[in-house]
Amino acid sequence: MAFKNHDFSDLVRLEQLRHIETGQAKTLSYAGVANMESYPVAGFSYAAFLERLLNRAHHLIHDNHLDDILQQPEKLFVRAGRIILVLATILGGLAAINATSDSSTLNIYWLLVVLLGFNFFSMLLWSAGITLGIQGLSSGIAAQLARWLPFQFKKKERDSIGMLAAHAWWETCLFGRVGKWRISMLTHQFWLIYLLAGMGTLILLMLAKQYDFVWGTTLLPENSLPELTRLLAVPMELIGLASPDNQQIAASRIGAGMQDASIRNAWAEFLVGALIVYGVLPRIVLVLFTFLMLKLSEYRYKLDLYLPYYVTLRQSLIANEFMASVIDRDPGVAQEQPVQIAREGHNRHLPEEALVIGIELDNHIIWPKGMVCQENVTDQETFMRTVEMIKKSRYSLLIGVAAHRLPDRGVQRIIKKLTALASGQIWLVLLQNNAAIPITESRKQAWFRLAQASAIPAEHVLS
């Protein structure tokens, strides 16, 4: 297996591996990726990082025989989708049979309500759900069932790796922007098959049996349904489908007497035409629209590089880590000149010169090798001095924070203000006061999200 095109399926596999490694990393073999992680990549770009991720994924999948496991969730969803479409075929046929089985006389508008009413209501709900961003409205019951069934089947398996892979596929492909359009497409396919099955069954019944078409109303004005018939017939006439004329409509009023073949043929063609124009064609358009939107959302899909898993891999694959050592800060006045950064080994991608600022750090914090904190922002006075330093500087800005703490609102506000003033590149350095104690995932995640909110690139977060 080789990853040549960075299509959506590749990104889905990376997300599946993320879930598996996060939950079951101890059970995987890393023999194939041990060597490749030692080769750094100069600089950073999303494409270069993605290429390294895909190469790493190739080795992991091959070494651990994960191909079938990763493909299984999609196969289950496709299978569930086919079951749903078969169900739509059965329901459409049964709806047509039920609407025509009582007698040889058919109420034309009742038949249209049975075959088109629920379909029209479904389109209204879908439109409201898409417009308002409510996924429960934009996906029908059948489509939600197809989304729910594969995950429930997978939950019964004892293979935890398979369960993690299924959950990742389910989360990536069936939720969010991609999931919205995938489920919407299945919803429109369901109703399209329902309408085609109903229309096909209706045509077969009319070929085998003679029906008279009638209409009538109790509460509406006498001319309301004939006028509605003429309005519905306008778009059908544009595509060459005939409709009953005024005399034929009047002759079809309940109790008007026997109908001849021309009246029956006119109403039969009107019925089929109404199903095509007001049911089948809109659904075909919506299926094509949702398919295009699905492909567009898949094309625009990007990995969340601020997740701890990807930040850790970035630092490994792009060699953007640092060596840690304790360097005491000069207790004197803040230095306005930049610090010369030691760009050796893992520090090679850091700027050569930078302003190094700390945010509410204690005296036991461990700074990267070759860095000296120029100012530690602890109060309003140190904050104002730091602001003046940044305003006068044209150098990159390195902000050191205590990673073992969660960023409170005060820290968030300080970092956002400082980053807004910086004219050069900005780096966020996650520091510790005890290198032997790892940073918890929840704290990492909080700092990564703060970096994202402050427009600090993921590759500029050092942990």
- pLDDT per residue rounded down to tens, the chain (463 residues): 434 446 899 999 999 999 998 887 667 777 766 665 544 444 557 788 888 889 889 989 988 889 999 999 899 889 988 999 999 999 999 988 887 876 778 888 888 888 888 899 989 988 888 888 776 665 656 566 666 665 565 555 555 888 888 888 988 998 888 988 998 999 999 999 999 999 999 999 888 888 888 877 777 777 788 888 888 888 888 877 777 888 888 887 766 666 778 888 888 888 889 999 999 999 999 999 999 999 999 999 999 888 888 887 877 776 544 443 434 444 444 445 555 554 444 455 566 678 888 898 888 888 877 778 888 888 899 999 989 888 888 888 889 898 888 888 888 899 999 888 888 888 888 888 776 677 777 788 888 888 888 888 877 888 7
- What gap in Å lies between CA 357 and CA 366, rounded to an integer? 14
Instruction: Return the residue matching tokens 């209409």.
Output: 215
- What gap in Å lies between CA 13 and CA 67, rounded to an integer? 10
What residue segments make up the domains of the chain, in order of their start?
Answer: 8-65, 69-300, 323-462
Pair of tokens at residue 334: 């803040």
pLDDT of residue 287: 97
- What gap in Å lies between CA 112 and CA 126, rounded to an integer? 20
Q: SS3 of 458, please? A: helix
DSSP one-letter code for 210? -
pLDDT of residue 142: 59
Longest pairwise C-alpha distance within the chain:
108
Q: Give the predicted TM-score (pTM) of the model.
A: 0.77
The alpha carbon of residue 298 and the mean position of all alpha carbons in its chain are separated, in whole angstroms, by 8
Q: Which one, of 226, 180, 229, 170, lies nearest residue 15 by Cα?
A: 170
Pair of tokens at residue 418: 């400082």
Pair of tokens at residue 91: 């329901």
Pair of tokens at residue 426: 């900005």
pLDDT of residue 193: 96
The set of residues, in sequence order, having a beta carbon less than 8 Å from that of 375 and lying 6+ positions away, is: 334, 357, 358, 382, 385, 386, 389
pLDDT of residue 455: 86
pLDDT of residue 237: 80
pLDDT of residue 328: 43
Q: At what angle do helices 176-208 and 141-155 cross, to 10 degrees?
A: 120
- What gap in Å lies between CA 422 and CA 420, rounded to an integer? 6
Q: How far is CA 393 from CA 88, 330, 335, 374, in A?
A: 67, 20, 11, 13
